[in-house]
């Protein structure tokens, strides 16, 4: 993605330092955070400075490589084991995190150099897979289509290109006229803050809509297709994604709107038989109770937007059953959202 005429990835590593776009500051400020050790990188993941399935995976891979680089000679094995536990504890739902950590950990047992190379491979593969998802998914988007998406599954959520937005970018680059309805995605507003910012940077026509406006727009025939991302896909094709995805899928089925999930195969967890086996992260209530924005004087402020004294429940994800999904767009092609479709991915290897 070009920002101020400079190409950026969401996250990258130089030496022992991990650099990442600070997504908590967007869209009001664009800044790069430096994480000088694996614990700093863990903090960035758990506090959503970097977020999104692929970006979390790449960042976790870099964190694991940092741990190998930092490990002392004495107590080295214990240090690395502790680091792995801390990294894997940052975001329990995101499958890509565990995929990346496992690959880098196994490589690091051979050598520190191999750990660093493997972490970079994970990031490069994420970018490549996202680009290929765009190529396959763009075939679903016809000229003058209006696409609805939920949360942010664009380039900010991955190393580059993204998943749910990658087909939109590809279709746009092919010369198709596209329009995007971006769900605001409470409570953190990733759609309103990140997806909208990305689309603006790319020059793609779009509008932010309240989360509860999607059904009305579908009823009016204003949405042609819905594409969302995924944080983990079970072996039966049930999908964990940002909270609110389930209700969008139900609404889409009601109005006969195609509902697609876009995700790389690294998001598939064959050890999860169904969505019932996917852990759902519970985040702090302050994300619901408080919102950050710019006041009339141009100052960034965080304010309480809910009833003082009330508490909030904040599940970060929900499970969309496979029978509500039209198909899954992967880097290898579009597959059926069922057990056979998932298995077909592995028969291609």
Which residues are tagged catalytic? 231
Cα–Cα distance between 47 and 92 in angstroms, integer?
13
Is the dihedral angle over the CA atoms 259, 264, 267, 270 positive or is it negative?
positive
Could you tell me if 81 and 108 are in contact, meaning their C-beta atoms sit under 8 angstroms apart?
A: no
Calculated CA dihedral for residues 229, 135, 324, 268, nearest 10 degrees = -60
DSSP run (H or E) holding 245: helix 245-254
Cα–Cα distance between 3 and 22 in angstroms, integer?
14
Question: What would the two tokens of residue 38 be?
Answer: 């694996």
Gyration radius (Cα) of the chain, Å: 20
DSSP secondary structure letters along 14-57 = ETTEEEEE-TTTTTT---EEEE-SHHHHHHHHHTTSS-SHHHHH
Cα–Cα distance between 295 and 325 in angstroms, integer?
40
Per the DSSP assignment, residues forming a β-bridge with 209 are 183
Q: How far is CA 96 from CA 70, 220, 226, 315, in A?
A: 23, 37, 23, 19
Cα–Cα distance between 157 and 153 in angstroms, integer?
5
């Amino acid at each position: 993605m070009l920002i101020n005429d400079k190409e950026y990835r969401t996250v990258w590593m130089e030496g022992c330092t991990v650099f990442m776009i600070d997504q908590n500051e967007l869209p009001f400020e664009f800044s790069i955070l430096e994480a000088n050790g694996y614990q700093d990188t863990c903090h960035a993941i758990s506090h959503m400075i970097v977020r999104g399935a692929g970006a979390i995976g790449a960042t976790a891979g870099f964190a694991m490589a940092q741990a190998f680089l930092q490990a002392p000679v004495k107590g080295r094995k214990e240090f690395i084991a502790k680091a792995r536990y801390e990294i894997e504890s940052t975001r329990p739902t995101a499958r890509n995190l565990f995929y990346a950590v496992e690959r880098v950990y196994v490589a690091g047992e051979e050598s520190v150099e191999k750990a660093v190379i493997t972490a970079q491979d994970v990031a490069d593969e994420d970018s490549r897979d996202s680009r290929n998802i765009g190529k396959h998914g763009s075939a679903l988007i016809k000229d003058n289509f209006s696409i609805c998406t939920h949360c942010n599954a664009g380039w900010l959520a991955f190393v580059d290109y993204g998943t749910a937005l990658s087909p939109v970018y590809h279709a746009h680059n092919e010369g198709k006229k596209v329009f995007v309805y971006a769900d605001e995605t409470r409570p953190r507003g990733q759609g309103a803050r990140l997806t909208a910012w990305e689309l603006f940077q790319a020059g793609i026509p779009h509008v932010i809509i309240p989360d509860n406006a999607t059904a009305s727009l579908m009823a009016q025939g204003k949405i042609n297709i819905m594409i969302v991302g995924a944080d983990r896909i079970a072996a039966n094709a049930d999908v964990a994604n940002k909270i609110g995805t389930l209700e969008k899928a139900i609404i889409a089925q009601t109005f006969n709107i195609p509902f697609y999930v876009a995700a790389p195969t690294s998001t598939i967890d064959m050890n999860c038989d169904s969505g019932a086996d996917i852990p759902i992260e519970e985040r702090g209530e302050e994300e619901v109770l408080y919102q950050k924005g710019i006041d009339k004087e141009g100052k960034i402020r965080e304010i309480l937007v809910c009833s003082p004294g009330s508490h909030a429940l904040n599940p970060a994800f929900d499970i969309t059953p496979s029978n509500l999904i039209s198909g899954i767009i992967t880097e290898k092609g579009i597959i059926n959202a069922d057990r056979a479709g998932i298995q077909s991915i592995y028969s291609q290897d």
